[in-house]
Structure 1
Amino acid sequence: MHKMLNIALRRFVVQECEEQEDNFQRMCRRNVRDATNPLELPQTLFTKYFRVNKPAFKYLLETCGSSIQPGKKQFSVPIIIKLSACLRLFAEGGYQTGIGKDYYVGLAQSTLSKILVEILDVFEKVICPYWIKVPKSEEEKRKIVQMFYLKHKIPGVTGCLDGTHVRIIAPTENKYLYYNRKGNYSLNVMLLCDNDLNIRYVDASHPGACHDSFIWNSSGLRAYCEQQYLQGVTYFWFLGDAGYPLEPWLLTPHRNPHEGSTEMKFNEVHSKCRNIIERTNGVLKNRWRCLLGARELHYTPKKAEKIINACCCLLNICIFFKTDEVPHNGTDVYIPGGEVFSITSSQNLNVAQMVRTNIGNSLT
């Protein structure tokens, strides 16, 4: 009996010590958090740390602050710390525990996890719909067309399209759907950019095993383009690589052109013009390194999709507020495999071939 009491007493003492240690850590985090203001950092260090400049941060702070109800508890986390923590997570990737121990964050992993849900919800409902938009007005389209034409002499281009893979941990359900040709689990993300590197459309909802053409064919973007075409808007198009089907609203390169032919010339100019989407992808992943292939998102596919959307939105915000570019160290290269699947009619295919041929002839 005496022995059992000793064991119970030891357990009680250990439990009390652990609780005191946890309370001490909470107090330390709270003291660090309450004593710091990220906006007091010099601009250069601030941008390096959070990947946005102060004007962009203040805009995000105001938007998130007006969308998130302030905490009622005495020690609730201020909105400035919530935003800082999420930007650090997007900027560096890694685990939430490591980000939480950051000097300018000071949060427990469980708290950071809840905050991430809050901030992503604001991005999904408020910020992303405002900053990621397909060019729709005639004036906006013509401005983009003019810039592409001045540089590359291809008329009618309103954007460039490509897919990129973002690694995730193996999902618990339908794991095989996310296993890509490189041997990783990923989401295959379709991006559309304009001449200024702004991301105009993002679809991060598809597993890594999906082909680029499948994602395009099932996207709302293609449905919109087809609707516009049927309404008589037949003089604007996007550029895509050989992983996409040729359509009147999506021009792809010729397959196996002869050396010195107009088809070869078209492919060369097409490739130079479309290079901007490769650069956009590189800038996106180098600024928000949680998306780099060397790292992976430790979240469910649905939450990973929201993080990708938020990062795309943040890139546009950085461009608008003229945040300094992060040095570009190259990005992940993924060559799509498998047969391109097309759902366009033979009539539309003939129209697209004619448009492509006419552009090629104008380039010689």
Structure 2
Amino acid sequence: MSRKGWSALNVCVVADAIARILYVNSAFPESTHDSTVWNRCALSRLFRTGEAIKGYQLLGDCGYANGGEITTPFRPTSVRGDNRKMRFNREYIHSRPVVERTVGLWKKRFTALASKFRVAPHFASKMVIATAVLHSIGYCLGVARFRRLGSYNGSSP
């Protein structure tokens, strides 16, 4: 149960610079901490075992530990006087909105994601994954302009 009083999922999303969803895991309830979700997901295992592409790291928010596969910003107390850390945090701030924008576009296209699911959590998880796949297929097919699915843009008779 979420803090708002309904069932919710903690969804782990990996997106690229052009807003494609490369990985999604929706198997955990909202009450599960982000780092726990990451440590238990298949993508994390690929990074830990060296099966992911060498030299690549993911940008994570402060909910994750700064480790071998996830890079997070430096805490404000450790940045003082260190120009390299300050420069990294500035670049990070410009990169992070890509994921936020991707999730925003995804929710805008599939409006059910932005509202309360009135289905069982295991079915909601499947809906999240299905819409993530459809979102990315849209990009691969060159559908750059997203419109809300199910909405009618014509005039009424």
TM-score relative to the length of structure 2 = 0.84
Match among 66, 87, 95 for residue 273 of structure 1: 95
CA 1:254/1:183 → structure 2, altered by over 3 Å: closer, same or farther?
farther
Work out the percentage of aligned pairs sharing the same amino acid. 28
Q: Which residue of 2 aligns with 1:251?
A: 71
Q: Which protein has the larger Cα radius of gyration, Structure 1 or Structure 2? A: 1
Q: Which residue of 2 aligns with 1:282?
A: 104
Q: CA deviation at 1:179?
A: 2.1
SS of aligned partner of 1:228: coil
Q: Which residue of 2 aligns with 1:179?
A: 2
Q: CA deviation at 1:197?
A: 1.0
- The aligned runs of 1:103-118 (5 Å cut-off) are none
- The aligned runs of 1:69-84 (5 Å cut-off) are none
Q: Does 1:212 align with 2:34?
A: yes
RMSD of the alignment, in Å? Answer: 2.0
Match among 298, 311, 315 for residue 131 of structure 2: 311
Match among 136, 146, 149 for residue 325 of structure 1: 146
Q: CA deviation at 1:264?
A: 1.9
* Residues matched between the structures, number: 145
List gaps (5 residues or longer) in structure 1.
Answer: 1-177, 328-364
- Cα distance between partner residues in 2 of 1:300 and 1:259: 51
TM-score relative to the length of structure 1 = 0.38
Instruction: Name which structure has the greater RCO, CA cutoff 8 Å, separation 6+.
Output: 2
Contact 1:283 1:326 in 2 (8 A): no
Q: Does 1:241 align with 2:64?
A: no
Contact 1:190 1:203 in 2 (8 A): yes
Match among 21, 26, 44 for residue 222 of structure 1: 44
When you count helix as a share of all residues, which structure comes out higher?
A: 1
- The aligned runs of 1:1-364 (5 Å cut-off) are 178-180=1-3, 182-228=4-50, 234-256=54-76, 257-258=79-80, 261-292=83-114, 295-323=115-143, 324-326=145-147
* Moved segments of 4+, more than 3 Å: none
SS of aligned partner of 2:62: coil
- Cα distance between partner residues in 1 of 2:29 and 2:142: 33
List gaps (5 residues or longer) in structure 2.
Answer: 149-157
CA 1:236/1:325 → structure 2, altered by over 3 Å: closer, same or farther?
same
